[in-house]
Amino acid sequence: MPCGEDWLNHPLGIVQGFFAQNGVNPDWEKKVIEYFKEKLKENNAPKWVPSLNEVPLHYLKPNSFVKFRCMIQDMFDPEFYMGVYETVNQNTKARVLHFGKYRDVAECGPQQELDLNSPRSTTLERQTFYCVPVPGESTWVKEAYINANQARVSPSTSYTPSRHKRSYEDDEDMDLQPSKQKDQHASARQAGSVGGLQWCGEPKRLETEASTGQQLNSLNLSSPFDLNFPLPGEKGPACLVKVYEDWDCFKVNDILELYGILSVDPVLSVLNHDDRDASAQLDPMECTDAAEEQRVHSPPASLVPRIHVVLAQKLQHINPLLPTCLNKEESKACKFVSSFMSELSPVRAELLGFLTHALLGDSLAAEYLILHLISTVYTRRDVLPLGKFTVNLSGCPRNSTFTEHLYRIIQHLVPASFRLQMTIENMNHLKFIPHKDYAANRLVSGLLQLPSNTSLVIDETLLEQGQLDSPGVHNVTALSKLITWQKVDYDFSYHQMEFPCNINVLITSEGRSLLPADCQVHLQPQLVPPNMEEHMSSLLAGVLPSALSKFRVYLTLLRFLDYSISDDVTKAVEDDFVEMRKNDPQSITADDLHQLLVVARFLSLSAGQTTLSRERWLRAKQLESLRRHRLQQQKCVNGNEL
């Protein structure tokens, strides 16, 4: 274990040391960041940092050093805080400077009082993100992180805040008021004090009508707090994340790994309650929106803890079996990649056999499923996303649990996934598109607010006859846009805002899907198990854990490999295309060539080859020929197009 636990249990003490040495010199902030960076390089130190993803909140000590793996669900407006503030001892008149960074509540010792007019005080800005656990994160990912974490925690004792604390954000707001107004409100704040804690804020017009408070009480401002998870059934803490440096580098839907200082001070909840009490004296028509925004932006810390970020890293992936960073400069990552690539061929063969059994003996469908699972949008040309490979697996048994069990297999292979049951009821009633709630000033999540490289399995075999209403039509349109353009248009009431995404979509259907797809593969089962659940369960039980781990590394790693086509091969492909057009101009179009190149790309990468060879080009043509022939056969059998 890393020596010296003070940085884990009492990080604010470390910060205080640097602040005391450097005073108002801003270098102390850089030294704090460097200190924690160095600490995290020691003896597998990250494994000793308690994680909010794995450890219950009541086991974590307030103001301790923690980590959190999360997705940015929303970004709130920047907020001002007291970067440096001064206190005065009422008896000795001694003055002490304090830092406000990494804190929600200003610290005052006994007999100390904040000097809001001190010329040495500074007001700074920080950004607040609303973060949720990674949507759709697979169980095996969670378990791997839990098993790797070596933090020693025990239920924390009840935490009683000092009676000499007050919100320095509110004090900062006071500092912006004219001194005359501050004097006028000094006595009013005393009436609102709770246990020595005082609420304060901008002066607002007070109403004398006795009925005002009753009107406010009738408003629905105390409904249960919605944690705003994009997917139903998600668990884990949501956090308000305070970011002090380089917040412009992050955007909504990014996956982050955060290291910071946990703030769960009950004072935050008391302040929130006091602010609502204060608003009860205001005109209800004016303060309803403000109260709702206050409720959403300042939830109880016991429900939505705060993390003051010291270090933040944008994650390329969340697969715990791979190095966090796969950059070529990292020697550790290079060794891992080269070692794994040397044994890639048998892993691919074993995965192909595994998926062939999952697809009821159809090896062609298994080939395309591998290509689909390693596909990723590698660039955008104008508005066209290159690298997307949505597969429509048609011919799936209707009124069967096949898709459900196939999804279970995929869940065991990819780090994050979600199965959308495409029923009329779900399409009409589920919220797919995130929208802006202007009353609460927040982004309300939807099913399609997903991080990059999430596997979305759409089960169309459940679709029955029925009527789609207006929300249902909008949801189908949103799915079509996601598949075609890899973007979701978030609803901001007065306008739509495009959010690019990179989501792997697999559609299972009986006939041809109602949704667009890059590639339709018609399933041809070679075996029909009498009990689908037993077949799939025995398949999962029969695969060795070591093999399963290799499959998981394989499917994640290949997304990050570079790929290129040499000039010689490009010329050969062009000549081949011209030759095919000569033989039968109607048989192949420019779109077909694009499809062939995409299949050849992922076929090469699936074999660990980062350049297109003649052999892989011919194999891609063969696969596409088999797939088209199968579709043509089915069309002749049914007499209609699939």
Residues 498 and 364 in one domain: yes
Looking at residue 190, what is its pLDDT? 32
Q: How many CB atoms lie within 10 A of CB 347?
A: 18
Q: Is the pLDDT of residue 388 over 90?
A: yes
Indicate whether 406 belongs to any domain.
Answer: yes
What is the domain-level CATH number for residue 398? 3.40.50
Buried b (16+ CB within 10 A) or exposed e, 454-466: bbbbbbbbbbeee
Looking at residue 183, what is its pLDDT? 42
Looking at residue 628, what is its pLDDT? 94
Task: State pTM to two decimals.
Answer: 0.86
Indicate whether 319 belongs to any domain.
Answer: no
Residues 420 and 305 in one domain: no
Looking at residue 224, what is its pLDDT? 61
HEC profile for 533-547?
A: HHHHHHHHHHCCHHH
Residues 456 and 581 in one domain: no
Rounded mean pLDDT, 621-630: 95
Looking at residue 407, what is its pLDDT? 97
For residue 284, name the pLDDT band (cuts at 50, 70, 90).
Answer: low
Looking at residue 331, what is its pLDDT? 65
Identify the DSSP state of 151: -
For residue 78, name the pLDDT band (cuts at 50, 70, 90).
Answer: very high
Q: Is the pLDDT of residue 205 over 70?
A: no
Residues 448 and 571 in one domain: no
Residues 513 and 572 in one domain: no
Q: Is the pLDDT of residue 306 over 80?
A: yes
Distance separating the N- and C-terminal Cα atoms of the chain: 60
Report in angstroms the alpha-carbon separations of 339 from 334, 348, 603.
8, 15, 21
Q: Is the pLDDT of residue 209 over 90?
A: no
Q: Is the pLDDT of residue 479 over 80?
A: yes
Indicate whether 157 belongs to any domain.
Answer: no
Residues 370 and 416 in one domain: yes
Looking at residue 639, what is its pLDDT? 58
Rounded mean pLDDT, 67-72: 97
Looking at residue 171, what is its pLDDT? 42
Q: How many CB atoms lie within 10 A of CB 215?
A: 14
Provide the total of helices (H) and of strands (E) in the chain, helices listed first. Answer: 20, 21
Residues 365 and 414 in one domain: yes
Lowest-pLDDT range of 217-226, 367-376, 430-439, 505-514: 217-226
Give me the helix-helix angle, 363-373 and 590-606, nearest 10°.
90
Distance CA 570, CA 613 (A): 10
Looking at residue 528, what is its pLDDT? 87
Indicate whether 481 belongs to any domain.
Answer: yes
Q: How many CB atoms lie within 10 A of CB 638?
A: 10
Backbone φ and ψ for 518, nearest 5 degrees, come out as -75, -25
Lowest-pLDDT range of 110-124, 238-252, 615-629: 110-124
Residue from 615, 551, 620 nearest 349 by CA: 551
Q: Is the pLDDT of residue 157 over 90?
A: no
Residues 46 and 125 in one domain: yes
Report in angstroms the alpha-carbon separations of 177 from 85, 183, 202.
17, 10, 7
Looking at residue 54, what is its pLDDT? 93
Indicate whether 453 belongs to any domain.
Answer: yes
Indicate whether 177 belongs to any domain.
Answer: no
Looking at residue 161, what is its pLDDT? 41
- If one compares 371 and 330, the residue with the highest pLDDT of the two is 371
Lowest-pLDDT range of 194-198, 474-478, 558-562, 579-583: 194-198
Give the CB-side neighbour count of residue 606, counting CA atoms within 13 A.
25
Q: pLDDT tens-digit profile of 241-276?
A: 999 999 999 999 999 999 999 999 877 766 565 555
**Number of independent structural domains in the chain:** 3
Residues 552 and 574 in one domain: no
Indicate whether 482 belongs to any domain.
Answer: yes
Non-local CB neighbours of 360 within 8 Å, separated by 6+ positions: 402, 523, 525, 526, 527, 528, 529
Q: Is the pLDDT of residue 202 over 50?
A: no
Residue 481, Cα to own-chain centre: how many angstroms? 21
Looking at residue 586, what is its pLDDT? 76
Looking at residue 580, what is its pLDDT? 85
Q: In terms of residue numbers, what domain contains 603?
A: 563-641
Residues 552 and 581 in one domain: no
Q: Is the pLDDT of residue 400 over 60?
A: yes
Lowest-pLDDT range of 30-39, 166-175, 305-314, 425-434: 166-175
Mean pLDDT over the full length of the chain: 85
Indicate whether 202 belongs to any domain.
Answer: no
Lowest-pLDDT range of 100-109, 227-236, 517-526: 100-109
Q: Could you say which of 281, 314, 347 is where a domain stops? A: 314
Residues 469 and 344 in one domain: yes
Q: How many CB atoms lie within 10 A of CB 242?
A: 23
Distance CA 620, CA 580 (A): 14
For residue 201, name the pLDDT band (cuts at 50, 70, 90).
Answer: very low
Residues 497 and 621 in one domain: no
